Chains A and B, each alone.
Chain A
Amino acid sequence: KNQVEQSPQSLIILEGKNCTLQCNYTVSPFSNLRWYKQDTGRGPVSLTIMTFSENTKSNGRYTATLDADTKQSSLHITASQLSDSASYICVVSYSGNTPLVFGKGTRLSVIA
């Protein structure tokens, strides 16, 4: 079964600290992996997208990594800000009948 598992489910960190979110997937055959940021009550916003051949992709303070062999991805946030408080969703595409497989997200809270 094609699944995307994210951990931790929720996370609280102090402003200025770094954090890493994890995503494991069983989707096959794999096409690409995206990280989205979703503020409460808003639509998701794409942060990064990586294909099979890419190991790292950065977007400002966000750096995503991908290990296609172990089917794991991480999203590292550097020097967190209060505005980083949101849900971070890992989304995987494969060449099947469903375009996207969504993880349940990690709820990040950055506190002062």
Chain B
Amino acid sequence: DTEVTQTPKHLVMGMTNKKSLKCEQHMGHRAMYWYKQKAKKPPELMFVYSYEKLSINESVPSRFSPECPNSSLLNLHLHALQPEDSALYLCASSQLWDRGSGYTQYFGPGTRLTVL
């Protein structure tokens, strides 16, 4: 199984809503990532988890709250988002993570988020 799954595929939410994005992998990977991708732009790294601990937070606003409950799951909790947060949110995983990034990242299909 070389698949990263993400749910939901699409999400529409108001600025006062609280929602969560979910990501799951069963490849035994110990590094998981959240990226944000705007249209026609490359993915932008948000968070890196290594062995279920947050290793990198790329100065992401606190209205985005990541959570890694176990080695297979990664959540992104959303609260009080702004319309400019509308984007494709990608989850990825790799066998391990180090700053040299010699490990291939496998991406999920993404969640298309629209904030009204």
Chain A residues with CB under 8 Å of chain B are 31-32, 34, 36, 41-46, 49, 51, 89, 93-100, 102-105, 107
Contacts and interface: CB of A to CB of B under 8 A. Distances in A.
A102 B42 contact: yes
Given A31-B102, A93-B101, A95-B100, A43 B90 contact: yes
A93 B102 CA distance: 8
Nearest to B58: A98
Contact of A43 (B48, B100, B102, B110): B110
Contacts of A43: 4, 6, 90-92, 107-110
Interface residues of B, number: 28
B42 A104 contact: yes
B7 interface: no
A104 B42 CA distance: 5
Given A41-B110, A42-B110, A105-B42, A100 B88 contact: no
A99 B4 contact: no
A43 B43 CA distance: 9
Contacts of B79: none
B88 to A, nearest CB: 7
Nearest to A44: B107
Interface of B: 4, 6, 40-45, 48, 56, 58, 88, 90-92, 97, 99-102, 104-110, 112
Nearest to A99: B101
B72 to A, nearest CB: 17
Contact of A31 (B97, B101, B104): B101
A93 B107 contact: no
Given A99-B56, A100-B45, A104-B42, 9 more contacts: A31-B100, A41-B88, A42-B109, A43-B109, A93-B100, A95-B100, A98-B58, A99-B99, A104-B41
Contact of B43 (A97, A98, A102): A102
Contacts of A96: 99
Q: Which 5 A-B pairs have the closest CB atoms?
A: A43-B107, A102-B42, A93-B101, A99-B101, A31-B100
Given A43-B4, A105-B42, A32 B107 contact: no
